[in-house]
Amino acid sequence: MSDRDAHKKQAALAAVAMVEDGMVVGLGTGSTAAFAIDGLIARVRDGLKIVGIPTSERSAKQAADGGIILTDFAHHTRVDLTIDGADEIAEGTLDLIKGLGGALLREKIVASASTRLVIIADAPKLVPGLGGTVPVPVEVVSFGWQTTAERLAALGARPAMRQAGDAPFRTDGGNLILDCHFGPIADPAALEARLSATVGVVETGLFIGMATTALVAMPDGVRRLDRKG
C-alpha cells in the first residue's frame, strides 16, 4: 500500500468509527470511500447492525459482497450518516468538488438526504479554495450535449468530454460527463446555481454547504474539520 493509500485508509477508518448500531449509512464512491466500505464490512462481521444506501453500482457490489445489507429510498427516506470522498475540500467552508469517480448525481441525492455527510480524504484534497487543482464535473444528458457544452463555455468553462477508452464515459444513469475547467472559483455557490440552471445539465459536482465534517489524513494524524453552523 502506498503512503497516500495508507492515509486514505486512516481517514476512512476514523469515519467508520462514527457509525453506530441501527444506522442507515450512505456508502460513497471512489478509492477513499472503498476503504470506508471495507472498514464497515469488518465491523458488520464483528456484529455491527446497519443498512447501506450505495451511491454507485460498484459500491453496491463491494458492500453486498462483504455482507452489508443494502436498502433504498423506498424503505428509508433519510440517511443517518454518509461517508464519501471528495476531489477538493475548501478548508474554510467545507464546500466540495466531487464527481471525478463518475457518481456525482447519486452521491448528491444521498448527501441531500443525509443528516450528516462525513467527507474523508488525504491532505492534497484540502485546498484554500475550489477549482485550482481539478475541473468541475457536470453530468449532462446525451441529447444535444454539444449545445449544452456551448452554454457551459459561455459561463467561462473549458468543457471536455470524459472518455472511457475510445468511447464517452457513461454514468450509472446513462448520462455523459463534461469536465469543466474554470480555474480558481471566486463564488462556488453562484457558479453552482448558474450551472444547475443550464438547459441540458443533470447535476454538477459542486457540493455547496452539504458536508458537516471532513476527516483529512495529515502526516501527523487525522485532522477533523466541522462546518460552522
Every domain of the chain and the residues it spans: 3-126+208-219, 136-200
Over 90: is that where the pLDDT of 196 sits? yes
Active site residue 88: no
Question: How many alpha carbons lie under 13 Å from residue 73 in its C-beta half-sphere?
Answer: 12
Helical (H) or strand (E) element with 190: helix 188-196
Radius of gyration of the chain (CA): 17
pLDDT tens digits, 141-157: 999 999 999 999 999 99
> Sorting pLDDT into bands at 50, 70 and 90, what band is 183?
very high
The overall average pLDDT reported for the chain is 97
What was the pLDDT predicted at 210? 98
Domains 3-126+208-219 and 136-200 share a fold: no
Query: CATH for 136-200, among 1.10.10.350, 3.30.70.260, 3.30.565.10, 3.40.50.300?
Result: 3.30.70.260
- Residue labelled with grid coordinates 474554510: 92
* pLDDT band at residue 207 under the 50/70/90 scheme: very high
pLDDT value for 190:
98
Q: pTM for this structure?
A: 0.96
The domain defined by 3-126+208-219 carries CATH number 3.40.50.1360: yes
Query: What's the pLDDT at 1?
Result: 77
Which pLDDT does position 10 carry in this prediction? 97
117-148: pLDDT as tens digits: 999 999 999 999 999 999 999 999 999 999 99
What is the share, in percent, of the chain residues with pLDDT greater than 90?
98
191-to-50, 97, 135, 180 alpha-carbon distances in Å: 37, 12, 13, 12
Question: 139: closest CA among 162, 122, 121?
Answer: 162
Q: 88, 107, 192, 203: which one is catalytic?
A: 107
- Between CA 95 and CA 89 the distance in angstroms is 6
Residue 60 reports pLDDT greater than 80:
yes
Whether the Cβ atoms of residue 104 and residue 86 lie closer than 8 Å to each other: no
Q: Which residues pair with 180 in a beta bridge?
A: 136, 159
